[in-house]
Structure formats: structure tokens, C-alpha cells
Amino acid sequence: EPEVTQTPSHQVTQMGQEVILRCVPISNHLYFYWYRQILGQKVEFLVSFYNNEISEKSEIFDDQFSVERPDGSNFTLKIRSTKLEDSAMYFCASSATSGRGHEQFFGPGTRLTVL
Amino acid sequence: RKEVEQDPGPFNVPEGATVAFNCTYSNSASQSFFWYRQDCRKEPKLLMSVYSSGNEDGRFTAQLNRASQYISLLIRDSKLSDSATYLCVVNDSEGRHDMRFGAGTRLTVKP
């Protein structure tokens, strides 16, 4: 069964450093997403991406964040200068379609720890 | 602020019990509704989409009441493996992809 994969599974970084989180969405999916979940809190939407551009982003997704699809398979989330409060689990998701019933499938997540 | 609200639980039930979870959403324009389950420190996994007419998948039944902006999930004959956090997920409006998650309802099924 096709699945979303993410690397690394755990990333530890110093405050102020840049991190890049990587995702390989399901191969025939067209829509890609990043979510985050701070420990003990709800899953929060960050950004959606379609046709090589951002389609929606939340208020969390400020200038410190960027996304890219550098080739036909990878989808990345970059945090330019990490803050302590960026420590969270970051989930990538993908879906085949948009609109009603567009089920999103999640990767296993990258746990980001900012020290 | 547009919110998705769930009873946090925890629900502790014996094997074989029937348990129901409720969820309310504040945005009347929401069009897509889902139940996900999340095991501890794992990713959300899609359990089922929720359709206007209600739908069933084995032991799981989902209902949607648009007038009351209310979604439910019923689990019959619960198994130990059903122990997880159940997440109610709603999109904001048709054509949008950003999903709003409830905080989840924790279920523990005991032998």
C-alpha cells in the first residue's frame, strides 16, 4: 500500500539554525500539506501546496517557513531560524484530489527538537 | 474563531462495549468531515470520511447533522486495538484544503 514517507524521524537543532524537513508524498497525489503538533496539543495546519505553489497557509506559516518541491518526488519544509517554540512533530500529508472528500494521508512525522 | 470541539474523555470501556464520540464544528460552510485515529506519538490515520447520509464501515458508524453542526462516531463491539485518540477533522469550506482538527477523544478499551 503506498504511503507518505518523511525524513529524518527526529531532528535536534540549536535555536537560530535552519532545518529542512523532507517528505515523499504518495506518488500519484497532487496536493501536499504540512501540519504540526506540539506535544499534548492538537494537530495544526501549516500550508497546502498544489501545482508548484502554495494554495493556503495558516497564521503559523510566517516568513520563517517555506516549502518547496525540488523534484518530482520530494516535498520539503524549511524553517529558516528555528525558535524554541518550533519544537513539535511535523507531519506531511498528501491527497489525490481537492474539494469534497479529499482524504489526506499522513506520513509518520519528524520530531523537531529545538534547544 | 472557527473551531472543532470534542469531548476529551478519556473513555475507559470494556472489550465488547459500544462507545460513541461527539464532535461539533463552528463553521457552517464546512463541507468535508472525517474521523482519524491517532496512536501515541504516531501520525493521524484516516478512519473514515463522514457523508451526509451517514456511513458505516464494519464496526464503525459515522453520522453528520449539518443543521446542528454535529458529527458522531459509534464503535460497536470494541476491541483492545481500538484504544487510541479519535480526531474529528473538518475542512473550512468547499475547495479549501486546510483541515481543522479537534483535540481528540481518548479511548482505552480494557480486557
| Tens of pLDDT, residues B46-73 | 999 998 888 999 999 999 999 999 999 9
Residues of A in Cβ contact (< 8 Å) with B103: 41-42
Residues of A in Cβ contact (< 8 Å) with B42: 108-109
Q: Which residue of B has its CA nearest to A91?
A: B43
Give the C-alpha separation, B4 to B8, whole Å: 12
From the list B31, B87, B94, the residue facing A43 with the nearest CB is B87
Instruction: Kindly list the residues of chain A whose beta carbon comes within 8 Å of any beta carbon in chain B.
Output: 31, 33, 35, 41-45, 48, 50, 55-56, 58, 89, 91, 95, 98-109
Below-50 pLDDT ranges, chain B: none
Whether residue A43 contacts residue A91, with contact meaning beta carbons closer than 8 Å, is answered with: yes
Strand ranges (E), chain B: 4-6, 11-14, 19-25, 33-38, 44-49, 55-57, 60-65, 70-75, 84-91, 99-101, 105-110
Residues of B in Cβ contact (< 8 Å) with A107: 43
Determine the Cα angle at B9 with ends B7 and B13, to 5°.
Answer: 130
What pLDDT was estimated at residue B29? Answer: 85
What pLDDT was estimated at residue A100? Answer: 58
**Interface test with chain A among B32, B86, B97, B105, by most A beta carbons within 10 Å:** B97
Contacts of B108 (CB under 8 A, 6+ apart): B10, B11, B12, B13, B83
Distance of CA B86 to the CA centre of its chain: 5
Higher pLDDT, A51 or A100: A51
pLDDT, one tens digit per residue, over A64-107 is: 999 999 887 899 999 999 999 999 999 999 998 765 557 899 99
| Yes or no, beta carbons of A95 and B97 under 8 Å apart | yes
Looking at residue B34, its amino acid is F
Give the C-alpha separation, B98 to B108, whole Å: 29
3-class DSSP assignment, residue A84: helix
Average pLDDT, whole number, for chain A? 93
